[in-house]
Structure 1
Amino acid sequence: MTRQTKIVVTLGPAVATAEAIDGLVAAGMDVARLNFSHGDHDTHRKLATFVREAATRQKRAVAILQDIQGPKIRVGTFPDGGIRLKSGDRVSLVAGMGLGDASRIEIGYPRLVNDVGVGSEVVLADGLVRMRVTEQTRDRLVAEVIEGGPVGDHRGAAFPKANLRVSAVTEKDKVDLAFGREIEVDFVAASFVRSAADVERVRQLSGVPVIAKVELAVAFENLDAILGVADGVMVARGDLGVEMPLERLPFVQQDILRRTNAAGLISVTATEMLESMIHSTRPTRAEVTDVATAVMEGTDAVMLSGETAIGDYPIETVAMMDRILVEADRPRSDHQSIGFLAGQAGYASAMARAAVEAATDLGLGIIVAFTESGSTARLLSKYRPGAAIMAFSPVERTRRRMAIYRGVTPVAFERLDSTDAMIESADRYLAENGVCVAGEGVVIVAGTPPNRSASTNLMKLQTIGE
C-alpha cells in the first residue's frame, strides 16, 4: 500500500549536508521545515538549495515550510547556564533579558508587571517549572514555585491566563519573511498566533499559504476565526501542553483536527512524535501508537522536530515514520465524503465528491486530477478516498505545495491545449510508469477549457490504453 499521510522533516545540524538531505528525500520526506528560531540565513539558504537539488535528482515534489519564531517570550541568562528551583521557593520576576539567579529571573516581556497580576500562573522551560504570582509591585512580580525543576538560559516563559499585548510578527520575523520570499518557500508556519488578524498579517508579509500553529490557549478559543483565514493548522503540542492541563491535550488535538478537516484545510500534527529516536534506533510503543492515533483522527501530515534536526538517527527516523504511516493509513481506506466537508460548495467540490464516490463504488485505485492551483487535489484529499490521487500540474510551485496533501502524488505535466490531449498524455504516463496496466479503470477530474484555475467541471471514467 502507498503511504498517504505526509512527513514534515525539520532540518538542522544533524542533516546539514547534501548527502543527508538526499537520504531524507529517499526515506520519504515530503516537506522540509526550516526552523527560523535557530540558524542564520546563509544556513537556511544552503539547506533550501540542497532540498531543491535532491528533489530534482529524485524526481520528487518536496515543499519547503518556513517556520518563523514569532513572539516567543523567554527568560534571560543564569550563572553556569541554568538554575534549579524547588517547590515553595519565592522568586522575583522582572522585565529584561539580563543575568538572573534562583531568587530573581528576568523575562523578556516589557509589560510583565502591567499585564500579569496576582494569581496568574507562570510556566517556564516548556512546563517543567510552574509558579503562581503572589505579589505585584511597581517594578516586579513575586511568585511561589508550585512545581520545581531546571530552568536554562533563554528557555520559554508562558502565562496561560494572562492577556498579553504582543505583536504576532516581530521585527526579526519581518526580516525572515522577506528572506523566505527570496528563496521561494512554499508555506509559512505562523508561530504564537492569537487571532485571525495575526494570520492575515503573516500572509501579507509572506505572500504564500500560511499554516497557523495552534500553541496558545487563546488560539484554540479563536480556532473558528483562524480557520476562516488560514490555509492550514498545525497542532503544536509542545507549547499547547504548557498552556493547558496535559490531560486535556489528546481531546484538544482531536477537536482541532476534526474542525480543520471539516473546513477543508491542511492539518499537521507536531511535537514529540518519535522523540525517543533522537538517541535510539527504535521508537517506543507509545510513540508508534501516538502517530497512528493522529492518522486515524485525520491529520494530513506528521512532523519530526529534534529527531531529525539534532538526532543521532535522522534518516532512520524518517524511514521508521514511513513504515508506521503505511500501516496506520490502512484503516482509513474508506473515504469520508458524506458530510465530511459540509461547508464546501461549488463545481470543484461537487466534482471531487463525485470522483471519490465513483472510485469507491467501482473499486478503482487511481484518481487523476489536472490542476493549475492545486485546489482540486486538496478537495479530493479531504474526502479521504481509498484510491491514490495522481495530481498532474504544469506549475512547479503548485506541485511542491501539493506535496503536503494527504494521498496526493504530484506529477510534472506539460501544458496542453485540449482536455482530450491532457487525458491521452496522462494515460500514457500511468501505463509507461507502471502505475496502471492496460484495461485498468481510473477516474479523471479536469476542467474544460483547460489551463485555467477554478475551472474544474468534468469527471470521466477512463480505461487505460483505450
Structure 2
Amino acid sequence: MFRHTKIVATIGPATASQEGIRGLIRAGMNVARMNFSHGDHETHRKVCSWVREESEKEGTPVGVLQDIQGPKLRVGEFLGGAVHLERGSRVRLVPDNVVGTDELIPVVYEPLLTDIEVGDRVVLSDGLLRLTVTDTNQDHLEADVILGGELGDHKGVAFPDSDLTASSLTEQDLADLEFGKELEVDYVGASFVRSGKDVEQVRDLAGGVPVIAKIELAAAYENLDDILEVAAGVMVARGDLGVQLPLERIPLIQNDILSRGNAAGRLTITATEMLESMTSSPRPTRAEVTDVATAVMGGTDAVMLSAETAVGQFPNRTVEVMGRICQAVEDDVLHKPDRRLPFFGARDKKASAVAQAAAETTARLDIDTIVAFTESGNTAFLISKYRPLAKVVAFSPIHATLNRMALYWGVQPFYLDRFDFTDHMIAAGEEFVETEGLAERGDAIVIVAGVPPNQQASTNLVMVQYIGERDQGIDAHLMGALPGEQNDDA
C-alpha cells in the first residue's frame, strides 16, 4: 500500500548512527531533520553523511532538513538551578548576566528594556508560567506573577504582545547556514521568523536552498501571506505557537495555515508532540492518533516527529505507526469527491495546467500511476498539489532534485539518466516502472514530460500510454501538448 503523506524524523542520540538512520529509512522516514539547537558541526556532518550513504544503499531518496535554532529567548541561571515563583508575587526582569532568585529573573535579551511595555505578557517555560509587566524602569522591568510554578535555568521566555526588534538570526545561525551550504542540505527550517523579509534573509544566506518557515510566533501568523510569498513551505510549529496564542485556538490556526499554505502552492508540515507518548511507550494514545489523522485530513504534505525519534525508546516503531495512521486516513479521504485542496495553481499557468491535466486524466480514466520527468522537481510538485489519487513516479537525473522530491506529497522519486530524445526517455521510464512493479504490462499510465527533453522550463506534454506499447512512440496516445512557448517549469 502506498503512503502519500511524507514523514520527517528528527535525528538525535537515539538514532544518530548508520544503523539508526538505516532503521528509520526502512521504517518509512522520507526526510531526516537535523536540529541545530543541539549537537556540534562534526556530529551533524556525520549524520548528513550517514543519511546520504544509507539512502543510496536502500535505493530510497531521503531529504535532509537543516533546522536552525534562531533567536530563542531564554532566562539565565538561578541560585540552586531553579526557583519557585508564587502567584501574586512581584518580580524584576533584567537583561543582565546575573544569578537569578525568586525576585530577580535574568533574561538573555539585550533590548529587553526598550522592546517590552507595560501590560505586555511574559510567558515562561513553554507556557507553564505567566507574568504581566506592570512597570518599566531604567535598569529593569517589574511584573506580577499571574501563573506561578518552578522556573529552571535556561528555560524559554516569550513576549507574545511585544514587537521585538532583535534580528531573526544569531551569530550561531549565520555559522550554521554556512555549514549547511557545505553539507548541501536540501531544506532549511527557519525558526522564529516574523515576516517574509526574515525568510528572504535566510534563503539568501543559505545559498538559495528552499526555506521552510516555521510558524511559531504570533507575528509570523499575522504575516502568513507575506511569508507564503517567499517561503518554499511552512511548518505548523505548535509548541511555541501554543505559547504565543491561546491554546484552544491552535487546532483552528493549524487548519488555517495548512489551507492557506496549500492554496498558495507551498509545502506544509505539521509538527510538535504528534506521537509524544511513544518517546517512552510502544503505543500512542488515542488522542495522538486523532491528532495525526486531523493533520492528514487537513491536507498536510508531511508530519514530523521530534523527541520521538531523537531520544525515544521506539524510534522505528514510531515511524511505522505514524505511517499506518497516515495510510488509513488517506484510504478514506482520497476516495471522497471533495478531497481536492483549494490549490488555485502556480504563477506559471502553463505548468499548472499541465499538472492539473495529468491529475484530472487519472481521475477520469481511473489510472493508478502518473510518470513525470523533471529537472528541477517543479512538475512533480505541482502535480502533487492537485492531490491525484494516483501515485506520482517522478524521474530526474539530478540527485539534489530527488532528495527534495522526497518531501512532496504522493511523489515517489527515482533516478533516471538523461536521454537525447523524449521517446527514449519515456521508454526507459516505462521499462523501469514495469520492472520495479510500480505498474503492470497493459496498465495505462499518464506521462508528463518535455519536448525537447533535458531542459528546464520545457514541460509541455501530457499523454496516456499503456505499458508494453513503447514501440508506437509518443504520438500513439497523445493527450495534449502545449506547443511553442515554454513554461517556467521543469
Query: Aligned-pair distance for 1:316?
Result: 1.3
For 1:308-327, list aligned pairs within 5 A. Answer: 308-327=309-328
2:314 alignment partner AA: Y
Please give the residue correspondences for 1:77-156 in structure 2 after superposition, counting only pairs within 5 Å: 77-156=77-156
Give the structure 1 partner of residue 271 of structure 2.
270
* Cα drift, residue 340 of structure 1: 2.5
Partners of 2:238 and 2:62 in 1: CA distance? 24
Q: CA deviation at 1:331?
A: 2.4
Aligned-pair CA distance for 1:338: 8.1
SS at match of 2:14: helix
Distance 1:32 1:135, change over 3 A: same
Alignment of 1:242-281 (within 5 A): 242-281=243-282
- Note the residue ranges of structure 2 that are not aligned, 5 or more in a row: 470-490
Partner in structure 2 of residue 11 of structure 1: 11
Deviation track 1:66-115 (CA, whole Å, cap 9, x = no partner) reads 00011111110123322232311211110034421211110011111111
Q: Which residue of 2 aligns with 1:34?
A: 34
Which residue does the alignment assign to 2:192?
A: 192
Deviation, 1:447, is 0.7
Shift of 1:343: 5.5
Unaligned runs of 5+ in 1: none
C-alpha contact 2:346 2:352 (8 A) present in aligned 1? no
Say if 2:352 is the partner of 1:388. no
The count of corresponding residues between Structure 1 and Structure 2 is 466
In the TM superposition, what are the counterparts of 1:326-341 in structure 2 within 5 Å? 326-334=327-335, 340-341=343-344
Distance 1:99 1:416 in 2: 67
What SS is found at the alignment partner of 1:452? coil
Q: Aligned partners of 2:118, 2:272: CA distance in 1, in Å?
A: 32
Secondary structure of residue in 1 paired with 2:102: coil
RMSD of equivalent CA atoms: 1.2
Match of 2:231 in 1: 230
| Alpha-carbon distance, 1:174 to partner | 0.6
Residue 410 of structure 2 corresponds to residue 407 of structure 1: yes
Q: Alignment partner of 2:231: what SS? A: coil
Q: Once the 2 structures are TM-superposed, how far is the Cα of residue 336 of structure 1 from its aligned partner?
A: 5.1
Cα distance between partner residues in 2 of 1:462 and 1:338: 27
Matches within 5 A, 1:262-301: 262-301=263-302
Aligned 8 A contact 2:259 2:342 in 1: no
Q: Secondary structure at the match of 2:230?
A: coil
Local SS of the residue matching 2:433: helix
Structure 1 residues 343 and 451: CA distance shift in structure 2, 3 A: closer
Any idea what the Cα deviations from partners look like across 1:348-398, whole Å, max 9, x if unmatched?
Answer: 110100010000111111001100000011101100011000000000000
| 272-281 or 86-95, which deviates more | 86-95
Give the aligned residue type for 2:144.
E
Q: How many angstroms apart in 1 are the aligned matches of 2:139 and 2:11? A: 41
Q: Hey, what's the Cα distance between the residues in 2 that align with 1:163 and 1:69?
A: 20
Q: What is the CA distance between 1:445 and its match in structure 2?
A: 0.5
Alignment of 1:57-68 (within 5 A): 57-68=57-68
1:346 Cα offset (Å): 1.9
Cα distance, 1:341 vs structure 2: 2.0
CA distance in 1, matches of 2:32, 2:257: 23
Which residue number in structure 1 is paired with residue 468 of structure 2? 465
Per the alignment, do residues 98 and 63 of structure 1 end up closer, same or farther by CA in structure 2, a change over 3 Å counting?
Answer: farther
- How big is the shift at 1:190? 0.4
Say which is worse superposed, 108-117 or 399-408, in terms of deviation: 108-117
What is residue 357 of structure 2 aligned with on the other side? 354
Letter in 2 for 1:275: E
**CA pair 338-35 structure 1, distance change in 2 beyond 3 A:** closer
Structure 1, residues 19-78: CA drift from partner, whole Å, max 9, x if none? 111101100110000111111001111111111111011001000000001111111012
Question: Measured at CA, do residues 329 and 336 of structure 1 come closer, stay the same or move farther in structure 2, by a change above 3 Å?
Answer: closer
Q: For the residues of structure 2 that align with 1:68 and 1:89, how far apart are their CA atoms?
A: 36
* Aligned counterparts of 2:334 and 2:163: Cα–Cα separation in 1: 44
1:49 alignment counterpart: 49
Cα distance in 2 for partners of 1:110, 1:433 equals 58
Answering whether residue 372 of structure 2 is matched by residue 369 of structure 1, we say yes
Determine helix, strand or coil for the equivalent of 2:142.
strand
Q: Distance in 1 between matches of 2:132 and 2:284?
A: 36
Tell me if structure 2 keeps the 8 A contact 1:13–1:309. Answer: yes
Report if the CA contact (8 A) 2:199-2:231 is conserved: yes
Which residue identity lines up with residue 253 of structure 1 in the other structure? Q
Tell me what 2:203 maps to.
203
**Are the counterparts in 2 of residues 419 and 448 from structure 1 also a CA contact under 8 Å?**
yes
Is 1:288–1:324's contact at 8 Å kept on the other side of the alignment? yes
Taking the aligned partners of 1:342 and 1:349, their CA distance within structure 2 comes to: 5
Q: Given residue 231 of structure 2, which amino acid in structure 1 is its aligned partner? A: A
Please name the residue that 2:164 is paired with: 164
Encode CA deviations 1:244-272: one digit per residue, 9 max, x unaligned.
10011111110000000001110000001
Aligned-pair distance for 1:337?
5.3
Counterparts in 2 of 1:98 and 1:318: CA distance versus 1, 3 Å:
farther
- How far residue 149 of structure 1 moved from its aligned partner, in angstroms, is 2.2
Name the residue aligned to 2:448: 445
Structure 1 residue 118: Cα displacement: 1.2
Give 3-state SS (helix, strand or coil) of 1:92's partner.
strand
- Which residue identity is paired with 2:389? G
The worse-fitting range, judged by mean Cα deviation, of 163-172 and 73-82 is: 73-82
TM-score for the superposition, normalised by structure 1: 0.98
Cα distance in 2 between the residues matched to 1:342 and 1:141: 49
Q: Quote the residue 2:303 is aligned against.
A: 302
Counterpart among 429, 438, 454 of residue 457 in structure 2:
454
- 1:74 matched to 2:74? The reply is yes
